[in-house]
């Protein structure tokens, strides 16, 4: 999952620099509001829905990544559809991340909680680092030697969004795999 979350680092900068959207607008709609609102309220869903939150969140993220790529594919600013896609991506990632983190830490013994929390944070940071490198390389490789403008990088962004959607789909599939054994 951290591989999918890393796009949070580069995507707002791309929207700000290349598309010329204001930093406030990007931050407001892209992740802050959606991620925060969903992350703080997912437990209010009926308990029978909790098992579906992680794969559902990844599926929402995958669709929203593809939607963002489609909104920007023609080299325009994406209009309101970009804001819808970015908001949905924040909501989807939060719907996947928050319940997964809760479930993971709920299975840890109290005396191991500090170590488990440290391992999760380290894994998340490493995932962010790898994600920025991998999807940055995808974007730059697809951009080939083009000038970084909205029109010239639209195809590269589409390829990157498809790769992000694929990573989110992998997250959805992996979240459906049952745990076989317990680690001691």
Going residue by residue through the chain, which has 184 residues, state the pLDDT in tens, using 9 for 90 and above.
333 344 444 555 556 566 666 655 665 556 666 777 888 888 898 989 988 999 999 999 999 999 988 988 887 777 778 878 888 888 998 899 888 888 888 889 999 988 998 998 898 889 888 988 898 888 888 877 666 665 667 888 889 999 999 999 999 998 888 654 444 4
Instruction: Look up residue 145 and give its DSSP letter.
Output: T
Q: Tell me how far apart the terminal alpha carbons of the chain are, to the nearest angstrom.
A: 23
> CA–CA separation, 161 vs 72, rounded Å?
10
Domain edges within the chain: 2-176
pLDDT of res. 32 = 66
* 65 contacts 164 by C-beta, under 8 angstroms: yes
CATH architecture of 2-176: Up-down Bundle (1.20)
Helix segments in the chain, DSSP class H = 2-5, 7-17, 23-27, 33-41, 50-72, 79-106, 113-143, 154-176
Look up residue 101 and give its two tokens: 């983190």
- Contact (Cβ atoms closer than 8 angstroms) between residue 154 and residue 72: yes
> What pLDDT is attached to residue 65?
92
pTM for this structure? 0.77
Question: Residue written as tokens 């970015």?
Answer: 86
Decide if 94 contacts 35 (C-beta within 8 A): yes
Considering only CA atoms, which of 89, 99, 103 is closest in space to residue 54?
Answer: 99
């Amino acid at each position: 999952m951290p591989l999918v979350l890393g796009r949070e680092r580069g995507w707002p900068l791309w929207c700000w620099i290349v598309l010329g959207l204001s930093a406030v607008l990007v931050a407001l709609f892209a992740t802050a509001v959606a991620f925060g609102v969903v992350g703080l309220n997912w437990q209010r869903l009926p308990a029978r829905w909790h098992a579906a939150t992680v794969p559902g969140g990844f599926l929402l993220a995958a669709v929203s990544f593809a939607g963002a790529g489609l909104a920007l594919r023609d080299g325009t600013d994406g209009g309101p559809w970009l804001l819808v896609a970015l908001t949905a991506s924040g909501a989807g990632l939060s719907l996947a991340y928050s319940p997964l983190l809760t479930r993971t830490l709920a299975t840890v013994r109290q005396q191991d909680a500090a170590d488990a929390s440290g391992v999760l944070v380290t894994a998340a940071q490493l995932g962010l680092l790898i994600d920025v490198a991998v999807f940055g390389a995808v974007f730059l490789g697809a951009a080939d030697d083009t000038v970084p403008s909205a029109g010239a990088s639209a195809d590269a962004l589409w390829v990157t969004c498809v790769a992000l959607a694929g990573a989110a789909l992998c997250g959805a599939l992996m979240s459906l795999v049952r745990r076989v054994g317990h680690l001691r």
